[in-house]
Amino acid sequence: MQVREIIRIKGVALFTTPAQQSLTSAIETMAEHDLGSLVVMGEGKMIGMLTFREVLRAVKQHGGKLDAVTVGDVMVADPVTVPPDMEANDLRRLMIDKHSRYLPVMDGATLMGVISFLDVAKAVLEEQSFENKMLKSYIKHWPGEPAKG
């Protein structure tokens, strides 16, 4: 299974924010839509990622006073990205190695979406379920032993 298939299963909904947006406003968007990440955009391209990890760090660093903090102050600039033809096993390994729960998928300069660790788990489970059904069907229709004469 490739990353493009995980994107297909997940869907292409993408939530973005500008770097100048207040962090509190970004947090409201994340909470309202049950998101773990936002893509930070600038001049029509991705310039960073904001995840709940950066939000928690900002809360700690600023003692909970986030009024003057912007998304750009805390985002991960130039995040690790993955191509759509990457295999799911390589993607999982990369996510674990980089401690990344969210990775943007880039096809050249085009942002295709963001893959979460949960998206990967769901896609792998769906693929395994399909394979399981196919194997059960194959076994069910397995030719019997020849009749003894």
So where are the chain's domains?
3-140
* Local confidence pLDDT in tens for the 149 residues of the chain: 899 989 888 877 889 999 999 999 999 999 999 999 999 999 999 999 999 999 999 999 999 999 999 999 999 998 999 999 999 889 999 999 999 999 999 999 899 999 998 888 887 777 666 566 666 676 776 776 555 65
Residues 6+ apart with CB under 8 A from 144: none
Would you identify the CATH topology of the domain 3-140? CBS-domain (3.10.580)
The closest alpha carbon to 29, from 40, 126, 129, belongs to 40
Q: What pLDDT, on a 0 to 100 scale, did the predictor assign at position 148?
A: 62
- 115 close to 14: Cβ distance less than 8 angstroms: no
Q: Which uninterrupted H or E stretch holds 53?
A: helix 52-61
